[in-house]
Structure 1
Amino acid sequence: MAAVTAVTVLALSALSATAPSVAAAPRTDTVQRSLDRLVSADGLPAALASVTTRDGRTRAYVAGVGDLATGSKVPRDGQVRIGSNTKTFTAVVVLQLVGEGRISLDDPVDTHLPGLVRGEGIDGRHITVRQLLQHTSGLPNYTKYEDLQPRPYAPRDLVDIALRYEADFDPGARWGYSNTNYVLAGLIVEEVTGRPLAQEVDRRIIQRLGLRHTYFPAPGDATIREPHPHGYHRESADGPLRDITEMDPSWSWAAGQMVSTNSDLNRFFSALLRGRLLPDAQLAQMRTTVPADYFGRGAGYGLGLVSRPLSCGGLYWGHGGSFPGYETRGGATEHGRRAAHLAVTTQPTDKTVTQRLDATVDEALCR
């Protein structure tokens, strides 16, 4: 493994020739230096970022190597698994259906999924759609209790896993992050529309915004379609990095299954905050938050949307995502005027490294 580490450090900031519409960053750029440090000092295989300025220009950054086995370059603005950023896409579809009068945020889950949500301290007649989207339902998080193997899962398999465990708290009593909430939100979309969630996300968001490098993988699709850095995982803090790029992502479904690029995420969150995806009333609901220090000091959670304070004043809005092999951070400022997203190719186990990822996003949005 020492040879791999040497390749990682020596190949800092290799640039690919892909995505010509995204400009490369100069070596003296502060964001570039932050990515270089994440690789050289923190030992991450690769880091890549995209920053969109007020005038709509986007600059791409890369550091490290895209494949530790070959030492290949990091694809500039390459695709990554975006994890829980998927939740924002799911929430937007639900809120579009609210705007169309087909769902109410105060509907009990049982209105759309009668009899499905039952368990110890769990009753879908007393949990609302709003509580699903805001993580105030009290439903147990199925990924917390089960070590899910990379195999195909149906969404209801995931719900069944969650319902083996008792409720974390009474609905509305407090905030608690649970992937189960978004699996149920996705099932509600399918019940109301009569179409697969992936089709609704594609039709209502991806095609509408022209997100050419974003997609919802089909069941059993373990690959990443376009140029991408490989994703890695360590079983222990001092263990070797293992390539886990190819994986069936169905265990995360509406909570975390999607693939995208940093620049597409910039476009998505900017468009959302500019009102291009939701009516004003639904966007206001989405931005109504409860405290969620899980995402950092001063963070709030709306309906699939996270607010975080900026060091230069004000807030930025996004989500972030963790998926085996990848970690993403980022968002857009008020009204979507600036946007930045950062991805690294292993999930940091050191909290200080994660804090440095957030600090890099803050730096990009504040300068």
Structure 2
Amino acid sequence: MTFKLRNATLFAACATVFLSAVGPAATAAAPAGANLAKAAAPATPRIGDVQKAVDELAEQSGVVGVIAEAYYDGKRIDRATAGSRLLGGKGGTIPTGSGYRAWSQTKTMTATAVLQLVEEGKLGLDDKLSDLLPIVVEKDLVRYADQITVRQLIQHTSGIPDFDREIDPFDRTYISPYDVLKISRSLPLQQKPGGDPLYSSTNYTLLGLIIEKLTRNTLAEEFERRFFKPLDMDRTYLPTRPTQRIEEPHGHGYHPDRRGKLRDTDKINAATAWAAGSVISTAADMAAFYSAFMKGRLLPPNLREVITGKLTPTGDPSKCVLPFRGAGPGSTSVTATTLDGRLQLAMNATFSMEMPHFGNNLAAAAQTVLCSAQ
């Protein structure tokens, strides 16, 4: 599925599935707090030319810079950078290892945390939103809350309108999750619960609130406990303040504000996306997350498939990877992984104009590189 990014859109992306020709992922799931540190492998597969792929992406009109890093069993096996760190060819190239916004790849983390709570017996996939968050009924924040299930929130079939198109990314006023729900509630309903997928970041705002209610911890604390600490993702964090920037060295993207003026997205509101798209990370950390995700270390396959859908080997070498995408003002990120979780290519591109579909280009490049593995 592809979703359009508009001027006012702060967070738009989805995980897109390419069925895999590699072997099935491991089935054993470890507890949330288990030691899931990255491990090196003795053998290294031969993959496609990462630098060539990055160079070709950076040559496209509107692209400022591109970085990519390939990992095999937690060990970096290649890296590349092209373009520039700043607009107009300034600032040198973006250093590999730089920080970047994961955007809607945050949703995979939020959904995984919710599904871990399902595995722990703290809620069910068919539990109703009205039972889990009675306040949304009391305050009339969500229509049909008595019909919407956890599964529908994860899979974008709740019918809840998407708040993000109403948000000005350059307004760094704090907007709470409940304010986000009020914005969504003011929008026209496009369909009732249970229909076809209708992408909406509001679903994940609600999932974040459910996580916090059931765990009595903040979402940032749960991400740290469940993913960042056990996976050694020590350069990944969930911003909680609107003024937080990317702490690591990074490339700068640019996006027109509501007056049409091109502005540096380094200064956008970092916290409003929250459970739907606020995570800031690095290629190494994103590779570590998806390696653990696909190897069954975070979820058993039946629960993981609530996010990815059924992953059936096809024998088609053109469909050897599963790319997860995130897009927002000024940049796009993709982490592509083989289904066995051993090989990842994490990529980030920055722009000087609106490029809502560039995630497709990154995913196609990742497929070309990883499907050359031998």
Matched length: 323
For 2:36, the equivalent position in structure 1 comes to none
How far did residue 335 of structure 1 move? 1.7
How far did residue 330 of structure 1 move? 2.5
How far did residue 316 of structure 1 move? 2.7
How far did residue 120 of structure 1 move? 9.8
How far did residue 177 of structure 1 move? 0.4
1:190 correspondence with 2:212: yes
**Structure 1 residues 46 and 311, CA gap change in structure 2 (3 angstroms):** farther
Aligned mate of 1:266, from 256, 270, 287:
287
Maintained 8 Å contact 1:80/1:260: yes
1:65 correspondence with 2:84: yes
User: SS in structure 2 opposite 1:321?
Assistant: strand
Maintained 8 Å contact 2:67/2:347: yes
Aligned mate of 1:337, from 342, 345, 358:
342
User: SS in structure 1 opposite 2:146?
Assistant: helix
What are the equivalent positions in structure 2 for 1:275-290 lying under 5 Å apart?
275-288=296-309
User: SS in structure 2 opposite 1:345?
Assistant: strand
Maintained 8 Å contact 2:240/2:274: no
For 1:51, the equivalent position in structure 2 comes to 70
For 1:107, the equivalent position in structure 2 comes to 127
Provide Cα deviations, 1:313-337, integer angstroms capped at 9, x if missing partner. 4453342111222211232111212
How far did residue 172 of structure 1 move? 0.9
How far did residue 288 of structure 1 move? 2.7
Distance 2:195 2:365 in 1: 34
Aligned mate of 1:77, from 97, 105, 110:
97
User: SS in structure 2 opposite 1:269?
Assistant: helix
1:248 correspondence with 2:269: yes
Distance 1:115 1:157 in 2: 13
For 1:213, the equivalent position in structure 2 comes to 235
What are the equivalent positions in structure 2 for 1:1-367 lying under 5 Å apart?
30-53=49-72, 56-68=75-87, 70-117=90-137, 122-147=143-168, 149-234=171-256, 241-288=262-309, 312-346=317-351, 349-350=354-355, 353-367=358-372
Provide Cα deviations, 1:42-83, integer angstroms capped at 9, x if missing partner. 241110011123684432211111133752331112000110
User: SS in structure 2 opposite 1:140?
Assistant: coil
Provide Cα deviations, 1:176-209, integer angstroms capped at 9, x if missing partner. 1000000000000011111111110111111010
How far did residue 138 of structure 1 move? 0.5
Maintained 8 Å contact 2:69/2:76: no
TM-score using structure 1 length: 0.79
User: SS in structure 2 opposite 1:123?
Assistant: coil
Provide Cα deviations, 1:146-167, integer angstroms capped at 9, x if missing partner. 5453321111111110011232
Greater relative contact order (CA < 8 Å, ≥ 6 in sequence): 2
Unpaired runs of at least 5, structure 2: 1-39, 41-47
Distance 1:166 1:41 in 2: 37
Distance 1:208 1:331 in 2: 21
Maintained 8 Å contact 1:231/1:245: yes
Higher helix share: 1
Maintained 8 Å contact 2:55/2:82: yes
User: SS in structure 2 opposite 1:209?
Assistant: coil
Distance 2:164 2:210 in 1: 20
Unpaired runs of at least 5, structure 1: 1-20, 22-28, 290-305
Provide Cα deviations, 1:209-229, integer angstroms capped at 9, x if missing partner. 001211111223421111111
Maintained 8 Å contact 2:325/2:333: yes
